[in-house]
Structure 1
Amino acid sequence: MGKARKFLSREQALIAELKESLGNARTLEDVYEAISHALLKLCEADHFAVGCANPDGTAGLQWKTDTVHPLLKDYAEWVQEDFVFRATVVQPNVVLNDVQMLRGQPLSETETFRRSAGAGLKLKRVLASLLFADQDLKGGVAMYRESSRPFSLRAQWFLQQIIPYISRAVARLQEFYALRFERDLLKAIAMGAGPVLMLNSLGRKVVDTGPAIPLLERWFAPHELSDGVPRAWVERVMALSRFDVAVDPRLESLTLERGADRLDVTFSQSAVSWGGRNLWQVRMHERAHWLRPDWKEKFTAQESRVADCLHEGLANKEISTRLKCSVETVKVHIKSLFEKTGTHSRAEFVAKGRRA
């Protein structure tokens, strides 16, 4: 950025103040409040945003801003198309201006410009940096101008000087958020019995209870799963997460059947949120057939139906009516069931035949 620059006395005092404020920050809102006013004034910017990486590992950042939220609220969905992200990700912890980022590409041809215009913003100039530590994305800083006048080299230099302090602050935040996030997830999962998946709005798994994965592997073939989540469920959660259309309430539950076994599944928004979006809680309840498998494989299809009737406590006449056969035929089937299982009464058959 040219010859070496030095802090002015007022800038030195401001740096000391910002360092202290950032050191006391415990939330992203604290970080924003600590630096936004000073940076907006010193860099003569119209908008400011600071972001923290998502602890669930999804792409993009959770942003705090007072003025450009319409542009950044769904950032994870288009982050790879953002020219600011593409330029700063290959030069971490370096403040770049829009000219350095675009490298001759017209701003008006970018997805970022299109989305900003759609959000009612007139963004024409940018200063930004992605913050990394140990090769992991920790956060980001972005300043915007609505006028065509470029940011000064002095503004770019000043922002560069405080990047290390902002980086340490958001890295510390990520640790706080990750611990809080894990605690909230465990609380949410503990509020009910059975296997549970927690998915983000893109259908990606955030966490699961131990029984969930083996259960899904029993019900789905490997090619039907994406990172342990049924691909159809990923699409279902993405549909449930949409804001632009009315959601069909039938998407919130489903029942899968395989022979006599059933899997009841419910999709509900969790109280746990991240990046401004609620996570989805997917609870599963497997209803396995009551009859032990080693017995069931001995029976014919009709004998299995008679066995189910015995389990329900139906009398011979009731069984004959349901299965549309004679009472004598029902007796023949019951005798066969007893012979195949070594039992001598209905009560003994049902008691010994229950799945463990």
Structure 2
Amino acid sequence: MTSLVVVDDQASIREALAVMLDLADGIDVLGTATNGEEAIALVAEREPDVVLMDLNMPVLGGVEATERIRAAHPGVRVLVLTTFDDDESILAALRAGASGYLTKEADRAKIEQAVRAAGSGQSVLAPEVQQRLLALATREPRRPVEDSVNFTAREREILGLIGEGLRNPEIAARLVISEATVKTHINNLFAKAGFHSRADAVRYALNTAS
């Protein structure tokens, strides 16, 4: 039996997933949470095998919640279920420790199968996610970023937070600065490094952190 916690800020989706999965053979839903903070507390209380995690949520998003859950409870597997399949979201979630990534296009059978697989220690990636990761691995860089790029200390700090998957409002809250200031720093570091998208910045942050 795979025990599960469902995390999603939309009540209709959260409740539908909980009911559906609790009825599935071999899955026991222990509870639900509406944001990352609630998820962390619930995991500590109930110690599930798997957390089915949304990404874009108020209070605390899924990427940071995944990272904190995995750090405190290494045996708990996090399976992302989200509407986002962009490079930035995928890389940030996997870097945070997610063992699987599905989009909400997945049908009931695929979600059930993925939960069971995660509970048994397997990694599960939606086909479209696998394709994006393959494209990232084989994509020619637009322009190599030199190690000597003269980022300011604040720009490097923001670049690291982009690499963690934080979006502009979350970065502003973390650094206690305005969102407009965050955007200014991002525009400056993009210009210095020749980034064309946040995905470029995420890849660079991951490469320099490894």
TM-score range, shorter chain: under 0.3
Which has more helix, going by share of residues? 2
Larger Rg: 1
User: TM-score w.r.t. structure 1 length?
Assistant: 0.18
